[in-house]
Amino acid sequence: MNVAAQMTALWSGRAKRFRKEIMPYLRYMGQSGFPAFLSLFVITGAIGYFKLIQELPSQFPIAGVGVAVLTLSICWSPLRTWLASADKVFLMPREGEMKLYLQHSLRYTTLGCGLLIAFVLLLYLPIYRQGAMLIDGFFIIASAALLKLGNVWGAWQERRMAWPGMRMLLRLLRWSLTAVLLYAWLTCVLWQAAAFTLLVALLFLMLYRVPDKHHFPWERLIEEEERTRKRYYVFFGMFIDVPSQSSKVARRSYLNSLLSAVPYSNRNTFVYLYTASLLRTEIGGIVIRVMLLGSLVCWMVADSGVWSGWGAAIAYGLFVIVLAVQLGALRHTHRYSVWQHVYPLPQSHRIEQYLKVDRAAFLISAGVMWLVSSLPLLKIGLAAPLITMIAAVLLYTLIRPGRLRKKIVKEADED
């Protein structure tokens, strides 16, 4: 068997093992009712979308929406390599052959991202055609494809960089200039957008030559693969117990003030513990992203006035449900920790203090989304949806602790 066939077999075998590994969890997820919730979300979104394109408001920010959705789909460039820590010993001697292995990963992830961009363009182009449309839709599609290829190349160069600070700086610059380029393609004439794109491409070709780079970034790729696998298991952990994964702690210094607000005392031991766990683990990152995405979607739907503001209420309700599900995973954070049986901690207060953290996080996240939704709705005089939204959240806040308490007790009995 030649080298190319060996690398193809190695990559395919690892991908197949991962799919086989998560298949049981997919069945549990399917039995949980989550697909039904997802179907409801899709149906509601489809109804709102078709109503929007049929009655597009005259002040609708066509270019702004296009930049937001296309930037996310174009700049996001994951890379599934299926690498593990042991590969630094067993595969590193074959580093010269890893280019063949990497080609499969690039092809696999770029194809998936390409399908995502195609879906986003399919939804966005009917909206774009109702605007000034200075550039034909064919060139918008072609520019999106070229920008995606450029971002895939740029993301790979960033992974190879030796210094994290330089990598983060160039990643931020890549995302920012991609957004600017998309705005140019959506608002300028063809030759202006093409010329600006060429200048930015030349700039990045020069910038990426400056930093020191690794030939093959083993540590970076293994860390990225471990993070991706952990996200899968965090998601599946909402439906069934999953194998424990090593936790990656994020500093998130911009949230330290929230942690310092917790009184440092014995009676707040678990309040402090669960607050720190929420702010510094992957669960907190997911909650923050859901809150920001929900705020953006709710603001856009509210600003368009879909269904006299009730479209925003539906979108708000869906994101509140997602937030509640994600926050529910926090109760599993220290479920199997040994230290809680070693240190003299007040275990009798653990559940109540956990519920206090859950309630505060839920109200803050839901409150931020509600405030963002309220600005455009109050501007056009639609208060009834806002009152309904906040009343439903407050009612659920009263019901939620009892439901979580029953789940925790049931899980403790099963253990």
Residue 133 placed within a domain: yes
Residue 233 placed within a domain: no
| 221 and 253 inside one domain | no
Residue 33 placed within a domain: yes
Residue 46 placed within a domain: no
| 207 and 307 inside one domain | no
Helix axes 218-236, 3-31, angle to 10 degrees: 20
| Gyration radius of the chain's alpha carbons | 24
| Residue 387 DSSP class | H
Answer whether 43's CB lies under 8 Å from 137's CB: no
Number of domain units in the chain: 2
Indicate the residue among 167, 191, 226 that finishes a domain.
226
| 260 and 221 inside one domain | no
Q: What is the pLDDT of residue 154?
A: 95
| 127 and 91 inside one domain | yes
Greatest extent of the chain over all pairs of C-alpha atoms, in Å: 71
Residue 116 placed within a domain: yes
Answer whether 103's CB lies under 8 Å from 111's CB: no
Residue 105 placed within a domain: yes
Q: What is the pLDDT of residue 297?
A: 80
Query: Residue 330 is which amino acid?
Result: L
Q: What is the DSSP string of 201-229?
A: HHHHHHHTTSS-B-SS-HHHHHHHHHHHH
Q: Alpha-carbon distance 250 to 280, whole Å?
A: 5
Whole-number Cα distances in Å, 207 to 201, 213, 291: 10, 12, 34
Q: Give the CA count within 13 Å in the CB-facing half-sphere of 22.
A: 18
Q: Alpha-carbon distance 286 to 282, whole Å?
A: 6
| 214 and 265 inside one domain | no
| 187 and 267 inside one domain | no
Q: Alpha-carbon distance 30 to 23, whole Å?
A: 11
Structure tokens at 174: 């890549």
| 263 and 219 inside one domain | no
Strand partners, 144: none
| 219 and 308 inside one domain | no
Other C-beta atoms within 10 Å of 86: how many?
9
Query: Domain range spanning residue 114?
Result: 3-41+61-226
Other C-beta atoms within 10 Å of 62: how many?
19
Answer whether 358's CB lies under 8 Å from 275's CB: no
| 218 and 258 inside one domain | no
Other C-beta atoms within 10 Å of 157: how many?
19
Query: Residue 23 is which amino acid?
Result: M
| 141 and 185 inside one domain | yes
Whole-number Cα distances in Å, 186 to 66, 127, 183, 192, 195: 8, 12, 5, 11, 14
| 32 and 146 inside one domain | yes
Residue 32 placed within a domain: yes
pLDDT 10s per residue in the chain (415 long)?
688 888 999 999 999 999 999 888 888 777 666 676 677 667 777 877 888 888 888 788 888 889 999 999 999 999 999 999 889 888 888 888 898 899 999 999 999 999 999 999 999 999 998 887 889 989 999 999 999 999 999 999 999 999 988 999 999 999 999 999 999 999 999 999 999 999 999 999 999 998 989 999 999 999 999 989 888 887 777 666 666 555 555 566 656 666 666 777 667 777 777 888 787 777 787 788 888 888 888 887 787 776 777 888 888 888 888 888 888 877 777 665 656 655 666 666 778 888 888 888 899 999 999 898 888 888 878 888 888 888 998 998 898 888 888 887 777 666 5
Q: What is the pLDDT of residue 266?
A: 66
Which residues are CB-neighbours of 63 under 8 A, at least 6 positions away? 131, 183, 186, 187
Residue 86 placed within a domain: yes
| 141 and 174 inside one domain | yes
